[in-house]
Amino acid sequence: MNPIAISIGPIEVRWYAILILTGFIIGMFLVKKEAIRQKLDTKKIMDLCFYLILVSIIGARLYYVIFKFSEYKENIIDVFKIWEGGLAIHGGIIAGTTFSYIYCKKNKINFLKLTDIISPALILGQAIGRWGNFFNGEAFGSATTLSHLHNLHLPNFIIKGMYLYSDTDLKFAYRHPTFFYESLWCLLGFIILLIIRRNKKIKTGQITAIYFIIYGIGRFFIESLRTDSLLFLNLKVAQIISIIMVLIGIILYVIVQKKEKNNH
C-alpha cells in the first residue's frame, strides 16, 4: 500500500498521520458529548484533550524509541520522523494517564470519572489508528498462506497489502493482518463499553477497569502473532504490559465495587 495520501511538491501527507488525527478528532467529539451529558466542565476537559494529543504522541514515540534505541543512536534525527511509524500505544496510555492524573488534581476533577469518559473514545481511536499501520506496512504478524487469508473472508485489498517482507524470516510472504485483528477487537470493545456505560448500576471507575481488561486481553493474544514486537530480555513488552493492564483492571473493578458496598 502507498503510505502517502497527498503529495504536493516536496510536501507529503501520510495516511498514518491522517488516521491518527482522525482518531483524536472523533475521540474528542465523543468525550465532549459525554461530558455535556454528565454536566461536567467541558472547557477544562477539552483543554485536557488538546494537551493529551501532544503528550500521548510524545509518550508513544519515546516508549518505542527506548526499546528500539539501537536503530536510532546512529541517526538521532530519525527519532522525530513519527510520520514513518513507530508509535507504541502503551507508551501513549502511560503518558496520557499520568498527565491526566496531574491535570485532574490541579483542576479538582474526578480522575476516574474522567477516565470513564475517555476510555470508550480512546479504544475507538485505537481502532481507527491501527489502519495507519496497514498503510505503512507495519504491525503485521507471522507468515501465513493466501488460502488462509481468503478463508478469513478478508477484503482483497487487505490480502494484497499483507504480502510483505519481514526481517524475521528474511522473505516476502503473506502475513497475518494483526493490525486488522486489533482494529476489530477495539471496535468490539468500544461497543461493549458504550453498552455498559448505559447501565445505571455501573460505578465510577468500572468503565476504565473494563477498558483495561478488554484491551489487555486482546492485545496479549494478538501480540503473540506479531513479528515486530518490542522486546525486553527476549520477552514481548506489549504482552507484559497487557498482563499488567488486565490485573490493574480487575483490581480496580473489585475495589470500586467493594467501596460502593461499604458506603451503603
pLDDT in tens, 57-91: 999 999 999 998 988 888 888 898 887 778 999 99
pLDDT at 259 over 90: no
Do 128 and 135 touch, CB atoms closer than 8 A? Answer: no
Confidence bin at 263 (pLDDT 50/70/90) = low
Which of these ranges, 8-12, 146-150, 251-255, has the smallest mean pLDDT? 8-12
pLDDT in tens, 153-190: 999 999 999 999 998 888 999 999 999 999 999 999 99
Confidence bin at 260 (pLDDT 50/70/90) = low
Question: What was the pLDDT predicted at 264?
Answer: 44
First to last CA, the chain: 57
Angle 233-238-244 from CA coordinates, rounded to 5°:
95
> Over the Cα atoms of the chain, what is R_g?
19
pLDDT at 112 over 80: yes
**pTM metric for this prediction:** 0.93
Alpha-carbon distances of 253 from 28, 60, 234, rounded to whole Å: 25, 26, 32
